[in-house]
Amino acid sequence: MTIEAWGARIAEDARQTVRVARSGHAETSVALVGFFLGEELLRQGLATHHGSAQAGALALARLPPRSLVACEEVDALGPQLFDAFAELLQAVGIPPAVESDLAIPPARRPQGDLLAHCRELRRRAAAYLPADRTERVKSAMVAGVLLFKSTALDAKTIKALFFHHVVAGSKTVPLP
């Protein structure tokens, strides 16, 4: 499969995950893919920090789920990711500029337990995503672009949801 095909599968699985959880509105799907991307960044950063994917996974498993975690390697990846994502958006005709106000209006906040949704999305995606973390991150970015293009939400709300949840996912210990 290609990164584009993996991205399309992630986007569809995100929609399906939130539908099954009865919180299936577009905002939750966008937030979920952002959170999933952030979680992939966290795993990639911890693998770099600890010297291997296995050591990073073990370090993550020792932390309590839902707790906050900081990792310099993740923080260093952030700007590169946002630049790459802006390029993807621009390539499909979506203005890449991020407004300084990324507040999410209460009516637009994701519904349900986003960490539980992310665990389910991770379970589904395990069947087809490659082991390579860089390709997983790129696939999740493509999924984000596909959701940007396919939702009727305004661009400012989509960007706020997506970017806020990328950051949240990159700093929150996932559910096992």
Asked, for residue 97, whether it belongs to a domain, the answer is: yes
What pTM does this model have? 0.90
pLDDT at 1: 81
**For the residues of 85-122, what is the DSSP string, one character each?**
HHHHHHHTT---PPPS--PPPGGGS--S-HHHHHHHHH
The conformation of residue 20, written as its DSSP 8-state character, comes to H
Mean pLDDT of 14-26: 75
pLDDT of 99 over the 80 cut: no
Mean pLDDT of 12-29: 80
Asked, for residue 176, whether it belongs to a domain, the answer is: no
pLDDT at 69: 95
pLDDT of 62 over the 90 cut: yes
Instruction: Find all residues with CB under 8 Å of 167, minimum gap 6, and list them.
Output: 38, 78
Asked, for residue 79, whether it belongs to a domain, the answer is: yes
Q: Is 107 exposed, middle or buried (0-12, 13-18, 19+ CB in 10 A)?
A: exposed
- The mean pLDDT of the chain is 87
Asked, for residue 110, whether it belongs to a domain, the answer is: yes
The span from the CA of 49 to the CA of 51, in Å, is 6
Asked, for residue 59, whether it belongs to a domain, the answer is: yes
- Residue 21: which domain range? 3-170
pLDDT at 24: 57
Asked, for residue 46, whether it belongs to a domain, the answer is: yes
The token pair at 101 is: 């106000």
How many independent structural domains does the chain possess? 1
Asked, for residue 120, whether it belongs to a domain, the answer is: yes
pLDDT band at 150 (very low <50, low <70, confident <90, very high): confident
